[in-house]
Structure 1
């Protein structure tokens, strides 16, 4: 889905997510595929009994890159007509007026917690978390797998840098479009009203405060899933969101399936080394604390009532 298709009349904005600095007409901006949906149970348009999604409620999926989010987005979107689905890769929600946002009922993209708050009316918010080190390695290989002609045609700066550098050198990158995507990215996304922008100078100096704030904001979500237990999580998540389930969760944008997309090519995965592992540890100190805390309280991160 292109920017114009996703949000007619919306304003353009700089990115703050994992594609920061990249043009948004990229290979991932396609209409969302439709999952094969199960018949809805009694209780409303989407079904699912007493937790049924009401007509004035919205679903917001804060998609952290390379956390198996594309698969979940397809399933969630299948519960809504296409004209009610807002899909943007950049973090633009806070730049749009309420009337524009009210015309949609399902939002998904590489947003931040701060911008999600701009969605008007009652809403149910979900996200998926992944081991921070695994997420960075996956992002590197995903960016690196973009075909050279696609990178140049769309001026995709993150993938260009990934293609030019081996993993260790990539992890030491100083360019903002890379650092914002790999330097404690999950905590940055969850820090709410703190305006991180794309500041390379932001170092999360008060780590305990940053992690605690990120966890506090995460507790406001209706469901927090985890990439390694996504199938199990989705079975519990859909009734809580008041949505119908589907016959299986699609697997999209995985390393094994990318070569089926004409914008990508199959590449060899780099082996990890002690130096690589040390850099990954350096880049994820806050994210790992946040991730462990989230896993410890995962059974409390489930709420059927809209915020």
Structure 2
């Protein structure tokens, strides 16, 4: 079955990708991991059976059908905080060597100023990122701003959300792995893999330990602002996922939080 993991950063998608990719022949795994599917012809894309990338809806629609599509979401405020501290954990050496603008700003700015930052690298990755991904790149302006009114953006994003075959959640990875393996007819892993965890940042090359800030009322208000659409999308995704769950799963106590 041709499969596509619509990988949203900081949701646990790397763990799922690392588990799924070996189940496909190496020459059928698309090497693109950062949404640049335009570099492939339609015939080249047809040759692949597995896609996994940080994509948006425009790029996702380029993938050949029929396609089993997987989307993983995380509670939106938690995802933004995870992104900030992941970027902030990057060492200055790797930031300068690779010219990483997002991590540079995370190192320079406290959490409140980071959330208010309008630099494109920050705004496009932290400000209602689910809505941006589900809308597509053409609806994001030069400063990372959404070029649609909130109501229209939300309506379009929710419409696209409903088209995914499996929607899973970082908060309930066992159920996500169960749903995906059942759909693909492969065995559940004996132990769920975790590719990265914030607690191990200091143990990774070019990463350093980070200290988390207290969430003040001001910070929480900014988190509300930059997730105002994503929280609605997340709640609707939970409703869709739970509505489509088999009866056995409904009674298992595994409902997403």
Pairwise CA distance, 1:300: 4.3
User: 3-state SS of the aligned residue for 1:195?
Assistant: helix
Look up the match of 2:249. none
CA distance in 2 between counterparts of 1:264 and 1:198 reads: 31
Indicate how the Cα distance of structure 1 residues 151 and 209 shifts in structure 2: closer, same or farther if over 3 A, else same: same
Indicate how the Cα distance of structure 1 residues 198 and 91 shifts in structure 2: closer, same or farther if over 3 A, else same: farther
**Higher mean displacement: 152-161 or 206-215:** 206-215
Indicate how the Cα distance of structure 1 residues 160 and 207 shifts in structure 2: closer, same or farther if over 3 A, else same: same
User: 3-state SS of the aligned residue for 2:51?
Assistant: strand
- Residue of 98, 117, 128 corresponding to 1:173: 117
Task: Give the number of equivalent residue pairs.
Answer: 246
Written as runs of structure 1 = structure 2, the 5 A alignment for 1:79-98 is 79-98=23-42
Look up the match of 2:250. none
Look up the match of 1:207. 150
Look up the match of 2:238. 295
TM-score by length of 2: 0.88
Look up the match of 2:165. 222
User: 3-state SS of the aligned residue for 2:105?
Assistant: helix
Residue ranges of structure 1 left out of the alignment (5+ in a row): 1-52
Pairwise CA distance, 1:264: 1.1
Look up the match of 1:122. 66
Residue ranges of structure 2 left out of the alignment (5+ in a row): 247-257
Look up the match of 1:99. 43
Please tell me the root mean square deviation across aligned C-alpha atoms, in Å.
2.0
Look up the match of 2:84. 140
**Higher mean displacement: 177-186 or 205-214:** 205-214
Pairwise CA distance, 1:231: 1.2
Pairwise CA distance, 1:121: 3.1
Written as runs of structure 1 = structure 2, the 5 A alignment for 1:5-154 is 53=1, 58-154=2-98
- Residue of 96, 104, 108 corresponding to 1:164: 108
TM-score by length of 1: 0.75
Deviations 1:211-252 (A, max 9, x none): 222122112111000110111221122111344432222112
Indicate how the Cα distance of structure 1 residues 196 and 243 shifts in structure 2: closer, same or farther if over 3 A, else same: farther
Indicate how the Cα distance of structure 1 residues 112 and 174 shifts in structure 2: closer, same or farther if over 3 A, else same: same
Pairwise CA distance, 1:263: 2.3
Indicate how the Cα distance of structure 1 residues 200 and 93 shifts in structure 2: closer, same or farther if over 3 A, else same: same
CA distance in 1 between counterparts of 2:47 and 2:12 reads: 27
CA contact (8 A) 2:76 2:227 kept: yes
Richer in helix (by share)? 2
Deviations 1:12-47 (A, max 9, x none): xxxxxxxxxxxxxxxxxxxxxxxxxxxxxxxxxxxx
